[in-house]
Chain A
C-alpha cells in the first residue's frame, strides 16, 4: 500500500531534516503551482529532475510512479487539444487541434511532473515516522500527527490482513468471476478484513500500552537542524521567490 521505497538511502537529501524538507517542498510546489507561464513550469520541471538526481532516487520505481501520474495528464492531452479553442488552429485530417489547448496541456504536464518529483525527492526521502516528527516540530497539532502516524500504521495492518485472506482464498482455488459465489466471497473477504483489522489494531494497542505508550511515538534517530539543512532551505526559498516574483520584474 504505502511502501516508503524512497525513504532509505544516504544521499544529501535523505540526511536532511524532515521539517526543513517539508517547508522547502511546500514553498517550491506552491510557487510552481501558481505560476502561469511555460518558462516557470519548465523551470519547475528542471528543478524536480535536479532534486531527484540529488536524492539519487532509483530510476525504475520512480519512472513507474511517474507513469501513473501521467495517466492523468494523458487524459488532458486527449481532451484539451480538441476543446481548447483559440485562434491558432491546426487542421489534422478531420480534427481541428487548438494550439492554446496544447500549450495548456504542456503547462499542466510540466507542473505536475515537476511538483511530483519535488515531493518525491524532498519529503518522501524520509520515513512517514520521521515526517510525523518533522510536522511536530513545525508545531502542527499533536492529535493530527498521531492520526497520521496511526493511520499509516494501521493501513499496513489492514493490507496485511487482506493479503492473508486473499492468499488463503487463492490457496483453496478461488478465482474471481461474475458469479454469486464470487460476489459472496468478496463480501466475506472485505467484511473479515475490516473485523480482523479492528481486532488486530486492538491487540497492537494493548501491546503498546504494555510498553508504556502514552500517546507519543518517540523517535530514536536524533533530529537536529544542521548547517547543510539551512543551506538547503535558503536555496529553496530563493528559488521559490524567483519563480513566484521573478516574472513581475522581467
Chain B
C-alpha cells in the first residue's frame, strides 16, 4: 500500500446511523476522510465518537452510506476482515479487549490469527511489550492488572498486529502522569495514521494535526484547537512546570 499522504486511507461517505429502537439518528449524512495523518475526534459524552469508530471498522453497519478503505468499498464481512488486519483499534474499555489468561498470550493472539508462526508471534509480542515499557509483564495474569496497566497491554495487543492505521478511543483514561507521557512518546514516534478520541486537550494538541468535532450528528473540521484556558491540579504543585502546548 502507498503511504502517499494525499490519498485517502479511510473514506466514509454520507454515513447515517441509528441504534435500533432509537428515534434520533446518531449521525445523519457524515463525510470523513483520513489520509496519512494524525487527527483528533472531539465531542461531548454521547455524541457518537465511539459509534463512528465502530462503523469505520465494520463492527456496526450504517443505515446509509459506505466505508471505503484504500479506495475500495467495504461491503461484506470478508472485506472488513482485510481492513481489520491493517486498522487497529484500542477500545474505550480495556477490560473488553483482554481475554487471554496471560499477557503474552493476549498480545500474541492477533499475530497468530494473522498466520504468524508461534516463534514469530512470541518475538513480536515480547518486543512490542518492551517497546511500550512493559518488559517483564509477559506472564502476568490479565485480569489482575491495574486499570492503567490493562490499557497499556491493550495497546500492545493492537500494536503487535503492526497496523497501518490506529483508532484510539480515549487512550489516556486511567493513565498516570508517567504512563500518559510514555504513551505520548510512543504515539508521536509511530509513523502511521491515527484517529484519537480524547477529552485530554493537552494530549491532542501535542499529537494531532487535524481536529474534528462531533455535535448533534454532524462532523465539523477545524484546523486548530481553540486556544483554551485550563486549570489543573498538580501533585508537587510548588515545583512549577512548563506548558509546551497552547
Q: Which of B84-126 contact A (CB under 8 A)?
A: 84-85, 88-89, 91, 93, 96-97, 99-101, 104-105, 108-110, 112-114, 118, 121-122
Pairwise interchain contact B109-A218, C-beta atoms closer than 8 A:
yes
- For A214, the chain B residues whose CB sits under 8 A away are 81, 113
Decide if A208 is an interface residue (CB 8 Å cutoff).
yes
Give a binary string over A200-220; 1 marks a CB under 8 Å from any B CB, 0 the rest: 100110111111111011111
Decide if B157 is an interface residue (CB 8 Å cutoff).
yes
Decide if A222 is an interface residue (CB 8 Å cutoff).
yes
Cα separation A216 to B143 with both chains bound (whole Å): 21
Decide if A65 is an interface residue (CB 8 Å cutoff).
no
Pairwise interchain contact A220-B97, C-beta atoms closer than 8 A:
no
Cα separation A214 to B115 with both chains bound (whole Å): 11
Decide if A153 is an interface residue (CB 8 Å cutoff).
yes
Cα separation A76 to B67 with both chains bound (whole Å): 66
Cα separation A204 to B158 with both chains bound (whole Å): 14
Pairwise interchain contact B118-A212, C-beta atoms closer than 8 A:
no
Cα separation A210 to B105 with both chains bound (whole Å): 16
- A204-B99, A220-B112 are known contacts. Are A210 and B122 too (CB-CB below 8 A)? no
- For B158, the chain A residues whose CB sits under 8 A away are 210-211
Give a binary string over A142-166; 1 marks a CB under 8 Å from any B CB, 0 the rest: 0000000000010010001000000
Decide if B173 is an interface residue (CB 8 Å cutoff).
no
- Nearest CB to that of B110 among chain A residues? A211
Pairwise interchain contact B113-A211, C-beta atoms closer than 8 A:
yes
Interface size on B, residues (CB 8 A): 30
Interface size on A, residues (CB 8 A): 24
Complex partner residue of A209 from B84, B88, B157, CB under 8 angstroms: B84
Decide if B34 is an interface residue (CB 8 Å cutoff).
no
- Nearest CB to that of A203 among chain B residues? B96
Cα separation A216 to B114 with both chains bound (whole Å): 11
Cα separation A217 to B109 with both chains bound (whole Å): 8
Pairwise interchain contact B161-A203, C-beta atoms closer than 8 A:
no
Decide if A129 is an interface residue (CB 8 Å cutoff).
yes
- For A70, the chain B residues whose CB sits under 8 A away are none
- A129-B101, A153-B99, A207-B96 are known contacts. Are A212 and B122 too (CB-CB below 8 A)? no
Contact residues of B with A, CB < 8 Å? 54, 57, 59, 81, 84-85, 88-89, 91, 93, 96-97, 99-101, 104-105, 108-110, 112-114, 118, 121-122, 143, 157-158, 161
12 contacts between A and B (CB under 8 A): A156-B143, A200-B96, A204-B97, A207-B96, A210-B84, A210-B88, A211-B113, A211-B158, A212-B85, A217-B109, A220-B108, A220-B112
9 residue pairs, one from A and one from B, having the closest CB atoms: A212-B113, A218-B112, A211-B110, A203-B96, A207-B97, A206-B59, A210-B89, A220-B105, A220-B108
